[in-house]
Structure 1
């Protein structure tokens, strides 16, 4: 499954591909439409006051794995476009109609992306630009996404059974490359729900790519099969990036790993980017 965030009125809504269609986090949708501080409690009360919605809840909603606010992947109640439309009927919100139009547009874009995958890349770039990222950073981020996809495809072909095994192998690469697990890295940057790589600097992205690309190449060359052998390969690939990072730090006297993040407003982010270039 491929997880992505979409934004409605500055509210982030998690979605994931399931059976080749988008499924959305019900809690995120409720929060976006109600501004509720406790969307799960709102959902509970909504189901109590709408017996019909409650009777079809198991049909409308499916638990799918998503990244939770604490950065961990958990089963999250999700609904497809049709299911979300039914849930919206139980939400007395002036935002409902604009949200329906937005949701229909998102669903239509998915159909377009199936027909022309390049559109997905273009839309992702546009979203990053809207958030204030520089074109140079975006190109590295997009390349990193491609490198990551190639690695996970390789793992799948070599007997790795998805999550949580992907997460364990990724942690091995990260520890060898940066001296930190992904969760430790997020803590360093002060992140919670956010995607770690969306908050990496150019150099952090480059060394992340190196570690994953090296892991892919070693796995192919050594024909690593199964979790145990690929765990060893992950450490080797990460170590190649780690040694390169250490050599750069020795030559420059600076650190690649940084607590900097991109939680700042777009204009502040642009100033930070210009400062780094200078």
Structure 2
């Protein structure tokens, strides 16, 4: 089961979802949906009682629902009851709520959007552009961010071609690249910027993004040139790629007298932009 975890927003409330590429369908956290529709202080308890009642009534939808691990509010991955969109439509019928119909329309929309994106990847880029603009990012930063996604994808494709595994091996190599150019692992970088669950790249400055792209692009180019055979070989390549960006960073810092890696995050960057605009 190839999965893509995503947080969807319905009226600014988070809904945890997982896209199953094999089945080509979304699986949605039932607890999150219950919380939105009922505004219950304890959506878990509400769902337990509803599930019990529906089972007693012989409701097949509840029987067919299953659990997936999703990130809980405390940051840990916990088993959560999920339903696909078809199952969820049926469950919503059992929850009296004025938000039921608007939620159904929203649910149908995200399902259709995902299928559209699979047919035309440019739609994904356009939607990402719109979302970043709505959040207040500058067009210059957004262009860098979208380019960084492409560069990162080229690197991970190169790693896959070398037989490396997603997960721990990818994370280790990413940390080596980051440490080599910035002096910090991904976790250390996030701590500097005061981040927890937020994306590090979404909180980088233009210059940080550019140097991180240079590090990743250099790693890809070196890997294509030397063709590393083992994981240890790939670690050496990752360090070399990161060092290319480190040299550029040091030269820039010498010219400007300013440190590139900083505690600035998206909130502080956007707040500063608002002050300038005003």
TM range (shorter): 0.7 to 0.9
Aligned equivalents of 2:17, 2:276: Cα separation in 1: 29
| Contact 1:176–1:239 (8 Å) recurs in 2 | yes
- Quote the offset at 1:41 in angstroms: 5.8
Among residues 257, 262, 273, which one is paired with 1:270 in the alignment? Answer: 273
TM-score for the superposition, normalised by structure 2: 0.82
- Once the two structures are overlaid, the 10-residue window that deviates more, 209-218 or 74-83, is 74-83
Contact 1:48 1:54 in 2 (8 A): no
1:136-158 Cα distance to aligned partner (Å, 9 max, x none) = 11111100111111111111111
1:1-278 matches, cutoff 5 A: 1-18=3-20, 19=22, 20-34=24-38, 43-44=47-48, 46-51=50-55, 59-63=64-68, 78-89=82-93, 91-263=95-267, 268=271, 270-271=273-274
Partner of 2:263: helix, strand, or coil? coil
Matched residues, number: 273
Deviation string 1:72-106 (CA, Å, 9 cap, x unpaired) is 77776554322433454454443332121111011
Change (3 A) 1:218 1:42: farther
CA-CA distance at 1:231 after TM superposition: 2.1
Q: Once structures 1 and 2 are overlaid, which stretch shifts more, 99-108 or 43-52?
A: 43-52
Q: Which has the larger radius of gyration?
A: 2
Deviations 1:43-100 (A, max 9, x none): 5555445436997667433525x66667777776554322433454454443332121
Unmatched 5+ residue regions in structure 2?
Answer: none
> Quick check: 244-253 or 88-97, which moved more?
88-97
Change in Cα spacing, 1:172 to 1:265, as seen in structure 2 (3 Å) is: closer
In structure 1, how many angstroms separate the alpha carbons of the residues matched to 2:29 and 2:272?
A: 28
The CA RMSD over aligned residues, in Å, is: 3.2
Which of the pair has the greater relative contact order for Cα pairs under 8 Å at 6+ separation?
1
* SS of equivalent to 1:6: strand
Gaps of 5+ in 1: none
